[in-house]
Structure 1
Amino acid sequence: MVKDEQTEPSENVFEERAEYLSSEELHAWTTRTHRDNQILEKLTGPGPKLLIGPRGSGKSTYLRLAYFSLLESQQALPVYVNYAKSLALEPNFHRNANALAMFRQWVLSRIVVSLNESIGKMGAVPESLQQLAGTCATLIEQVEARQAPEVPPTNLTPTSLLQQLEEWTEGIPPRRVVLLFDDAAHAFSSEQQREFFEIFTQLRSRYVSCKAAVYPGVTNYTPTFQLGHDAQLVEAWMRPDDPDYLVTMREIASRRLPVSEGREQALRDSLVDYAAVASFGLPRGFLLMLSEMLGLDEVSNLLPNKRLADEAVGNFAQSTRDVFDALALKLPRYKRFIEVGKQLQAQMIESLREFNDNRPEGEQRTAVVAIQEPVSAELGRVLAFLEYAGLVRDLRSISQGDYSYRQFWMHHAILLHENALGLGRNPSAQAAVAALTGRANASRVRRSAATLLGSNYADRCVLDLPPCERCGEPRAAAEAQYCLRCGNRLKDASVFEELLRAPIESLPLTRKKLDGILEHTEMRSVQDILLDVEQAQLRSIRFVGPVWASRITRYAEEFVYV
Structure 2
Amino acid sequence: MNDFIIRTEELEEDQLKELYVESEDDKKILKSLKSQSPVLLVGSRGMGKSFLFKISQMQLLDNFEKDRIFPVFLTFRSASLVQTGNNVQFELWMLNKICTVIIRELKKYGLISSVKWNFGNVTSEESPYGNSIKILMEKNKEFENSWKNPGKIIDTMAVPTIDELMDIIEDICVELNIKRMVIYIDEAAHVFIPEQQRQFFSIFREIRSSYVKCNAAVYPGVTCYGDIFEPMHDAVTINLTRDLREENYVSNMKEMVLRQIKDSETTKNLIRNGENFSVLAYAASGNPRLLLRSVEKVGNFKTNSVMAVFREFYREEIWSEQSLLAEKYPSNSKFIDWGRTFIETVVLPEIKNKNDRALENNKASSVYFWIHRNSPQVIKESLRILEYTGIIKLQATGIKATNSEIGNRYEVNLGCLFALENAPLSVGINIVNNLSLKRMSEFGANSKAYETLIKKIPKFTEPDMTECLKFQLAKSIDVLEISEWQKGKLRELNINTLGELIVSKESDLMRAYQIGKVRSRQMKNAAFAAVFEYLFG
TM-score (norm 2): 0.81
What per-residue deviation string (whole Å, max 9, x for no partner) do you get for residues 130-187 of structure 1? 4553211122233323478731352321111111111223243342010110000221
Q: CA deviation at 1:319?
A: 4.2
Residues 430/536 of structure 1: CA separation in 2 closer, same or farther (3 Å cut): farther
Following the alignment from structure 1 to structure 2, what is the Cα–Cα distance between the partners of residues 437 and 133? 57
Paired position in structure 2 for 1:309: 306
Paired position in structure 2 for 1:559: 534
Paired position in structure 1 for 2:41: 51
What per-residue deviation string (whole Å, max 9, x for no partner) do you get for residues 191-220 of structure 1? 311221121111111111110011111111
Residues 353/174 of structure 1: CA separation in 2 closer, same or farther (3 Å cut): same
Matched, 1:88 2:81: yes
CA contact (8 A) 1:81 1:180 kept: yes
Paired position in structure 1 for 2:32: 42
Gaps of 5+ in 2: 118-123, 125-129, 514-521
Q: CA deviation at 1:111?
A: 1.6
What per-residue deviation string (whole Å, max 9, x for no partner) do you get for residues 346-388 of structure 1? 2111211222232343544321122345333222222112111
Following the alignment from structure 2 to structure 1, what is the Cα–Cα distance between the partners of residues 439 and 523? 41
Following the alignment from structure 2 to structure 1, what is the Cα–Cα distance between the partners of residues 104 and 511? 29
Q: CA deviation at 1:102?
A: 3.3
Paired position in structure 1 for 2:335: 337
Paired position in structure 2 for 1:102: 89
Paired position in structure 1 for 2:14: 24
Paired position in structure 2 for 1:241: 245
Residues 218/265 of structure 1: CA separation in 2 closer, same or farther (3 Å cut): closer
* Equivalent residues in 2 for 1:99-178, closer than 5 Å: 99-125=86-112, 126-128=115-117, 130=130, 132-146=132-146, 150-152=154-156, 154-178=158-182
> Match of 2:306, as an amino acid?
A
Residues 526/70 of structure 1: CA separation in 2 closer, same or farther (3 Å cut): same
Residues 391/33 of structure 1: CA separation in 2 closer, same or farther (3 Å cut): same
Paired position in structure 2 for 1:369: 369
Matched, 1:443 2:445: no
Following the alignment from structure 1 to structure 2, what is the Cα–Cα distance between the partners of residues 524 and 360? 54
CA contact (8 A) 2:375 2:444 kept: no
Paired position in structure 2 for 1:298: none
Following the alignment from structure 2 to structure 1, what is the Cα–Cα distance between the partners of residues 104 and 500? 33
Residues 529/286 of structure 1: CA separation in 2 closer, same or farther (3 Å cut): farther
Residues 478/123 of structure 1: CA separation in 2 closer, same or farther (3 Å cut): closer
CA contact (8 A) 2:143 2:154 kept: no
- SS of match in other structure, 1:240: coil
Residues 549/257 of structure 1: CA separation in 2 closer, same or farther (3 Å cut): farther
Match of 2:232 among 228, 237, 241: 228
> Match of 2:142, as an amino acid?
Q
Q: Which stretch of the first structure deviates more once superposed, 187-196 or 60-69?
A: 187-196
> Match of 2:94, as an amino acid?
V
CA contact (8 A) 1:85 1:561 kept: no
Q: CA deviation at 1:452?
A: 5.5
> Match of 2:379, as an amino acid?
L
Following the alignment from structure 1 to structure 2, what is the Cα–Cα distance between the partners of residues 188 and 548? 27
Q: CA deviation at 1:501?
A: 3.4
- SS of match in other structure, 1:209: strand
* Equivalent residues in 2 for 1:413-452, closer than 5 Å: 413-419=415-421, 425-427=422-424, 429-439=425-435, 441-448=437-444, 450-451=446-447
Q: CA deviation at 1:101?
A: 3.6
Q: CA deviation at 1:42?
A: 0.7
Paired position in structure 1 for 2:211: 207
Match of 1:285 among 290, 295, 299: 290
> Match of 1:312, as an amino acid?
V
Following the alignment from structure 2 to structure 1, what is the Cα–Cα distance between the partners of residues 359 and 280? 26
> Match of 1:354, as an amino acid?
N
Residues 156/374 of structure 1: CA separation in 2 closer, same or farther (3 Å cut): same
Following the alignment from structure 2 to structure 1, what is the Cα–Cα distance between the partners of residues 177 and 12? 25
Residues 214/243 of structure 1: CA separation in 2 closer, same or farther (3 Å cut): same
CA contact (8 A) 1:54 1:237 kept: no
CA contact (8 A) 2:49 2:217 kept: yes
Paired position in structure 2 for 1:494: 467
CA contact (8 A) 1:337 1:460 kept: no
* Equivalent residues in 2 for 1:58-69, closer than 5 Å: 58-69=48-59
**More helix per residue:** 2
Match of 2:409 among 407, 410, 413: 407
Percentage of pairs with the same residue: 21
Paired position in structure 1 for 2:517: none
Following the alignment from structure 1 to structure 2, what is the Cα–Cα distance between the partners of residues 15 and 157? 39
Paired position in structure 2 for 1:540: none
> Match of 1:78, as an amino acid?
P
> Match of 1:201, as an amino acid?
R
Paired position in structure 2 for 1:387: 387
CA contact (8 A) 1:333 1:463 kept: no
Paired position in structure 2 for 1:459: 455
- SS of match in other structure, 2:234: coil
Q: CA deviation at 1:38?
A: 0.3
Following the alignment from structure 1 to structure 2, what is the Cα–Cα distance between the partners of residues 166 and 51? 25
Residues 317/227 of structure 1: CA separation in 2 closer, same or farther (3 Å cut): farther
Q: Which stretch of the first structure deviates more once superposed, 431-440 or 528-537?
A: 528-537
CA RMSD of aligned residues (A): 3.7
Residues 86/338 of structure 1: CA separation in 2 closer, same or farther (3 Å cut): same
Residues 262/499 of structure 1: CA separation in 2 closer, same or farther (3 Å cut): closer
Residues 57/160 of structure 1: CA separation in 2 closer, same or farther (3 Å cut): same
* Equivalent residues in 2 for 1:319-338, closer than 5 Å: 319-338=317-336
Paired position in structure 1 for 2:355: 356
Following the alignment from structure 2 to structure 1, what is the Cα–Cα distance between the partners of residues 131 and 403? 66
Gaps of 5+ in 1: 1-7, 295-302, 420-424, 465-476, 480-490, 538-546
Q: Which stretch of the first structure deviates more once superposed, 406-415 or 58-67?
A: 406-415
CA contact (8 A) 1:335 1:463 kept: no
Q: Which stretch of the first structure deviates more once superposed, 360-369 or 156-165?
A: 360-369
> Match of 1:83, as an amino acid?
F
